[in-house]
Amino acid sequence: MKDMEQKLRNEAKTLLEQGQVDYMVGFEPGSLKFTTTPLITRDKNDVERLVINPFMANNLANFLTELKGRIGIVAKGCDSRSIASLIQDNKVAREDVVILGIPCPGIIDLSKVEKLIGKDRDELEDIIREGDKVVITAGGKRSEFPVNEVLFDNCLGCELPTPQEYDILLGEPASPVIDRSASQASIEQLKGITPQQRWDFWKDEFSRCIRCYACRNVCPACFCQRCFVEETEPQWLMPVPRWQDNLMFQVIRNIHVAGRCTDCGECERVCPVNIPLRSLTKEMYDIVSELFHFKAGMDKDAAPLMTHYEQEEAEDCIR
């Protein structure tokens, strides 16, 4: 990863120096241990702050609709699909982005690490990825775990860890760490219970939602200038976070991102009350894939899912 990091810094410096981009968007070390934070800069001297490590969770494609000008952007496999999806939706022009692609070995989920070690992340001294293992040092003691025990669930089901759409690829293509049953475990568990139990489950979960909108704000597929939740005429949702309105918010959000969601996992990661949002978004991703043979961001030149129809559409009214 150090080689890739140096290559990224060199390429980013050249792009800024030569005026090929107005901004660079990448990752820098976060203020907390084992975290990164997005770095958005116009200053070539800042490129030394850019990092590549197993903690770069954000989907940076989210910033493309906010920034004006030509953008150099660091993209993992799922992020590059989000960029392609934004291009499909005419939210981003391909010529306005320089994609620095990272073949992604998967992102480490600190909450899984904490559970395995039985300590808070602040008490850990080091977390290092070594091939198919992760080595964690806590209290001077080293422990090794297979990588599929510590990656985010979405990374365990990752179909394309190496960006398909890029201008500069920073390393050799990565092989996905596939553990589909672990990736889908919580979703399958929900499918295995009765509709009434599932309803009770989501009622409980959405009773905890504080409607902070972090899940929406972090999502590159949620790009409406004015979100329906802020409409007052008509008012779709009560501003007070009642479970019914919270559930309705997620149902409508999931329909809006259908065919745009790339299973980057960001909405679930950022939820401050740990609502298992991926159980909704990934299920929608799979339904879209099964019904329409469509996966978001696979082809920047393809029409977006909801803007065209096929001869074999089931409904006569659409044909």
- Nearest distance, CB of residue 65 and ligand SF4, angstroms: 13
Decide: is 77 part of the binding site for ligand SF4 (CB under 6 A).
yes
| Secondary structure tally for the chain: helices H, strands E | 10, 8
Decide: is 150 part of the binding site for ligand SF4 (CB under 6 A).
no
- Nearest distance, CB of residue 141 and ligand SF4, angstroms: 28
Query: What is the C-alpha end-to-end distance of the chain, expressed in Å?
Result: 50
Name the strand (E) or helix (H) holding 126: strand 124-130
DSSP 11-34: HHHHHHHTTS-SEEEEEEE-SSTT
Among 88, 262, 276, 279, binds ligand SF4 (CB under 6 A): 262
Q: Which of 87, 107, 267, 258 lies closest to 165, judged by CA?
A: 87
Nearer to ligand SF4, 128 or 284 (CB): 284
Decide: is 88 part of the binding site for ligand SF4 (CB under 6 A).
no
Pair 56, 27: CB distance under 8 Å: yes
Q: Which of 207, 203, 158 lies closest to 183, judged by CA?
A: 158
With contacts defined by CB under 6 A, how many residues of the chain interact with ligand SF4? 37
- 97 to 116: interface string for ligand SF4, x by CB under 6 A: -------x-xx---------
Q: How is residue 139 written in tokens?
A: 């209290």
- Nearest distance, CB of residue 66 and ligand SF4, angstroms: 15
- Nearest distance, CB of residue 176 and ligand SF4, angstroms: 7
Q: How is residue 240 written in tokens?
A: 């007070």
Q: How is residue 138 written in tokens?
A: 């806590």
- Identify residues 217-256 at the interface with ligand SF4 (CB under 6 A): 218-221
Could you tell me which stretch among 46-54, 122-130, 154-162, 224-232 binds ligand SF4 (CB under 6 A)?
Answer: 154-162
Binding-site ranges for ligand SF4 (CB under 6 A): 59, 76-78, 104, 106-107, 154-155, 158, 161, 209-215, 218-221, 257, 261-267, 270-273, 275, 277, 281
